[in-house]
Structures are given as C-alpha cells and as structure tokens.
Amino acid sequence: MLDTLFNNPIIFLAWLVGLVAAISIHEFSHALVADRLGDPTPRIQGRLTLNPMAHLDPVGTIMLLLVRFGWGKPVQFDPYNLRNPRRDAALISIAGPISNLLLAAALSLLLRLAFLIPAASSPLLLVLYGLVQPIIYMNVILAVFNLVPVHPLDGFKIVGGILPEEYARQWYELEPYGMIFLLFLIFPFFGGVAPIGRIIYPIINFFLSIFLPGASTGGVV
C-alpha cells in the first residue's frame, strides 16, 4: 500500500481514507455495543465517537501501511459490568465486523444507484468509484480478518460466546497462546502467501464479488 504513495499519491490517499474509515467504524461499534450493554468503560475512555484519533493506534497504523498487517486501538470493556459476560463479550466483539460489512454494503448500494442515474456524468462516476472502492475493500478485509477465531481477534470471543459453558472454559484457556498462533498464521511460508491468507482470501473475494463485481483482493494480508 505504501508503494502507491510515490507512484500515485491520490490513490494512496483514497486507500488511507478507506483504512481510517474502516478502523474508526469498527472500534466505535465495539464501544457503542459495550455502552448499550451496560459498561460505561468505553464512554469514560472517550471511545464512543467516530473521531479517528480516538481509535487509531500509531504503531498499528504504520504497520498496516508498511506490511499490510496492523491494528487499531482495542476497545476495553469490563465484563463485571455486563449481565451475561460471555454472551455480551461475543456481542461486543461481533459488532465491529458487522459494522464494517454494513458500511461496505451501504456504499455498494450507493455506487449501484449512482450508475443507474441516466444523466450522471461518466467522469464523476469514475471519481466516485475511485473514492468508494478503497473504503469497501478495507471494510471487507478488516471484517473478515477479525472474524478469525484467534486471540486477540474478535472471532476468538465470538466463538467463546457460542460454545457451551464447559467447552468455553477450555476455549479461553487458549487465550495466552493467541499471539503465537496469530504470528504463525500471518508469517508467509512457501509460495510467499501467509497461511491466514489461504483461509480468508476466498471469503474476502466472496464479499467483494457482491459489493464490487469483478474485484479481487490481489493479496492484501
């Protein structure tokens, strides 16, 4: 992604906007659901906002630009403030990916409606597509990536909320080893493709085929 900064600064800016938008809506949704479920922690910490400055992690953002793997500032919540900690933690976790997919779907609908307007100018449509496409890409990628059931990704707590209590306890015993699993998944082995890419590329491409027909990830993770 960073290589486009020198080749095409406008495209780089569009992708940067897409990245910031995806992270902001993702983390804001975590905070909003936690707040609605009775935990004031995100509100107290100033996370109940769409302001990107509240959600961007400087190191995580730089890593995304450099190596296409990074993170936003995690939304913290106190399980003791939740009525059903395990279930509510899963709801808080899944809110981020769902918000990304909903935003991608809404922007996809906007594009389709714009192309249906007979009097619309072709250059304006191309500009609109160029601005919206990166936002859809980033939201789909962030959503699918975070659904991988490995701590600290959202998918880990989502699975923990679905499993019966006995199995959930065993599942959460894997939490301390999450970063080891994640590093193994994102490290590119033979063929230059990270194992996690082989898992999520087909899912990402499925959503992109709906939101942006003819689109492909081209190897984002």
Q: Is pLDDT at 81 greater than 50 in this prediction?
A: yes
- Residues 138 and 135: their CA atoms lie apart, in Å, by 5
Q: How does pLDDT run across 115-152, given as a tens digit for each residue?
A: 777 665 677 777 788 889 989 999 999 999 999 999 99
30 SS3 class = helix
The single-letter DSSP state of residue 76 is P
Q: What is the mean pLDDT of residues 48-61?
A: 89
Q: Are 19 and 64 in contact (CB under 8 A)?
A: yes
pLDDT at 122: 74
pTM for the model? 0.89
Q: Is pLDDT at 220 greater than 50 in this prediction?
A: no
Tell me whether the omega of the peptide bond preceding residue 152 falls within 30 degrees of 0, making it cis: yes
Q: Are 72 and 136 in contact (CB under 8 A)?
A: no
Q: How does pLDDT run across 99-119, given as a tens digit for each residue?
A: 999 999 999 999 888 877 766
pLDDT at 219: 43
Residue extents of the structural domains in the chain: 4-211
Q: What's the CA dihedral at 16, 21, 26, 32 to 10 degrees?
A: 150
Q: Is pLDDT at 213 greater than 80 in this prediction?
A: no
The residues, ordered by sequence, that sit 6+ positions from 10 with a Cβ below 8 Å of its Cβ are: none
Q: Is pLDDT at 193 greater than 70 in this prediction?
A: yes
Active site residue 27: yes
- Please provide the average confidence, as pLDDT, over all residues in the chain: 87
Q: Are 72 and 20 in contact (CB under 8 A)?
A: no
Q: Is pLDDT at 26 greater than 80 in this prediction?
A: yes
pLDDT at 5: 57
Amino acid letter, residue 24: S
pLDDT band, residue 1 (cuts 50/70/90) = low
pLDDT: which is higher, 189 or 3: 189
Q: What is the mean pLDDT of residues 62-77?
A: 77
84 SS3 class = coil
pLDDT at 139: 94
Highest mean pLDDT out of 11-25, 66-80, 122-136: 11-25
pLDDT at 221: 40
Q: Is pLDDT at 48 greater than 80 in this prediction?
A: yes
